[in-house]
Each structure stands twice: as structure tokens, then as C-alpha cells.
Structure 1
Amino acid sequence: MNVTLTNPAGAPQPANAYYSQVARVEQADGSVLLFLSGQIAAGETLAEQTRGVFETIDALLASQGASLADVINIRTYLTDITKLDEYGSVRREFLTGTAPTSMTFEVPRLFRPEAQVEIEVVAAVVPA
């Protein structure tokens, strides 16, 4: 097993914190697990922020040779759980295959005061 922690070029760089955006775990059989740090995005509405987050996640996965289709687990943090349907409708635009395992939490606030949603994912890439 080989573990690489990275902040891929072109991806949003961590602001005001010390962490890696991606943990890449390469297995002996050639499969790869990707653990992505929680992502937030700019936008006025929850839908705009959610789209921005999924676009960032898609770019981070692509930098590792993966895609949203490889996501096996998703954890979502919302500041207003009553907007779950709004979040869910955008999520379904991006995650179109078999649904990954999932957890959604309501939290009082996130890293940035304007953030309404933060999402972290785990993806698995299995060799053909």
C-alpha cells in the first residue's frame, strides 16, 4: 500500500489551514482509494454553492484519474437541513449512477460564515 497526500495543481488551495485536498491510497491489486477533504464553494444560494462544490470535487477526482462515477461515500454538512431537497436535486445532477453510501448532517456553521454546504467524498478506482 502506498499513500500520497497532495494538493493538485489547478485545484483550490487550502486557505488559512494546513491540510491536503486529496489522500491517494494505492493498493497492491492496482485499485486506488481517494479521500477528498471537505469542499465549499462561493455562491448566493445553496444550489449555486452545491454546484460549485461538485465541480471542484469532479476536478479533484479527474486530477487522480477518477470521476464522480467512482464515488462510493459522501458526507454532507448543511447549515439548514430544511433545504435538503434543494441540495438533493443538485446532487442528483452530478451523481447519476448507483447512489453512493451517504451521511448528511446539519451543523450550526462551517469554516467560512457564508458557506451553506460542505461535502467530502471517498472514491474507489478499480483496474479494468
Structure 2
Amino acid sequence: MKVTLDNPTSVAAPFADRFTNVARVDLPGGALLTLSGQTAIDDNGDVVAPGDTGAQTERIFEIIGRLLAAHGAGFADVLHVRTFLLDLGDLPAYGKIRRQVFPGPPPASTTVQVSGLFLPGLTVEVEVTAAIAPA
């Protein structure tokens, strides 16, 4: 088993290098990817569409797609999605975008309402786990 912690250049680096975007575990039958929670932050570190869960969800899945692609994976490889929402009333806006990202059988899922996220204006954070076949 080999473990790699990675910040692909296709996505802006995490704030002050406080965390790694992707933890990859290479196994004999493939690899397991665990992505850190992603929020709607632009390349300058500013919140995208403050207060707009739909627009933030689009940005988040764009970032997640880039992180997965950097490791030879895609949304079809996602096993589990964990979502943190400030308001469960935003679930329809979030769900609309998520259904576009996962048009087939949906991955396993956890969604919870939280009292806050790390920057004002953020309404949603998403993390995923994916499995890929050996390269």
C-alpha cells in the first residue's frame, strides 16, 4: 500500500497549506481517493456567489472534477458524497446541480445541516471518496 498526499496544480492550493486536497491510497486492485471538503472559492481565495447555494455547488463540483481528473478519475468513480449545508432549505438548489453531476445511480451520501462554514458567505461544503482501477 502506498499513500500520497497531493495538491494538484489544476486547483488553487489550500489556504496557507493547512491541508491537502487529495489523499490517495494505492492498492493492488486500484486506488482510493479521499478529497478534503471543497467550498466555492475562486483562484484568488474569494467566495464565489456569496449566499447562493446553486452557484456555489456548481463551483464546488467543478473543483472536485479537476481534483478527480488529476488522479485519472471522474464522477462515475465516486463512491460517497458528504455534504454540509448551512440550511437544509437549500437542498433543492444543491440537489439540482448534484443530479446533473451524477446522472446515473447516485453514490452513497450523507447530508447534514451545520451552524457555520469557515468563511462568511459560504453555504455549502462537499467532500467525496472515489475508487479507481489501476492505471
TM-score, with structure 1 as normaliser: 0.94
Tell me the percent identity: 44
**CA–CA distance in 2 between the matches of 1:112 and 1:18?**
15
Residue 17 of structure 1 and its aligned partner are, at CA, apart by: 5.3
> Does residue 1:56 correspond to 2:55, yes or no?
no
Deviations 1:102-126 (A, max 9, x none): 0001001101111100000000112
Indicate the larger mover: 8-17 or 51-60: 8-17
Residue 16 of structure 1 and its aligned partner are, at CA, apart by: 4.1
**CA–CA distance in 1 between the matches of 2:69 and 2:106?**
19
Number of residues paired by the alignment? 127
Deviations 1:62-120 (A, max 9, x none): 00000011000000000010111111011101111221110001001101111100000
Residue 127 of structure 1 and its aligned partner are, at CA, apart by: 4.1
Q: Give the letter for the 1:87 counterpart.
A: Y
**CA–CA distance in 2 between the matches of 1:10 and 1:127?**
22
> Does residue 1:67 correspond to 2:66, yes or no?
no
> Does residue 1:122 correspond to 2:122, yes or no?
no
State which of 84, 90, 102 in structure 1 corresponds to 2:91.
Answer: 84
TM-score, with structure 2 as normaliser: 0.89
Match of 1:93 in 2: 100
Where do 4+ consecutive residues of structure 1 move more than 6 Å? none
Deviations 1:33-83 (A, max 9, x none): 000000001124110000000000000000000001100000000001011
Match of 2:34 in 1: 35
Residue 10 of structure 1 and its aligned partner are, at CA, apart by: 2.3
